[in-house]
Amino acid sequence: MRYIEPHAHMVSRVTDDYQAMVLAGCQAVCEPAFWAGFDRGSVAGFRDYFDQITLHEPKRAAKYLLPHYCWLCINPKESEDTVLADDVLAVIPEYLDRPNVLGIGEIGLNKNSRNELAVFEKHVDLAARHGQLILIHTPHLEDKRKGTRLILDVLKNEKRIDPGRVLIDHVEEHTVRMVLDGGFWGGITLYPESKCTAARAADILEIYSGCNLWMNSACDWGHSDPLAVPKACLELRKRGHSAEEIDRIVYSNPVRFLSQTGKFNEPCGL
- Residues at the site binding Zn ion, with contacts judged by CB under 5 A: 34, 218
> Between residues 10 and 205, which has the closer beta carbon with respect to Zn ion?
10
For the CB of residue 263, give the shortest distance to Zn ion in the complex, in Å.
20
CA distance linking residue 40 with residue 114, whole number of Å: 20
Q: In this chain, which residue has its C-beta nearest to Zn ion? A: 218
> Between residues 73 and 92, which has the closer beta carbon with respect to Zn ion?
73
For the CB of residue 70, give the shortest distance to Zn ion in the complex, in Å.
12
> Between residues 29 and 218, which has the closer beta carbon with respect to Zn ion?
218
> Between residues 67 and 187, which has the closer beta carbon with respect to Zn ion?
187
For the CB of residue 72, give the shortest distance to Zn ion in the complex, in Å.
13
For the CB of residue 7, give the shortest distance to Zn ion in the complex, in Å.
6
CB atoms within 10 A of CB 72: 29
For the CB of residue 85, give the shortest distance to Zn ion in the complex, in Å.
18
> Between residues 132 and 138, which has the closer beta carbon with respect to Zn ion?
138
Beta carbons within 8 Å of 260's beta carbon, 6+ residues apart? 133, 164, 165
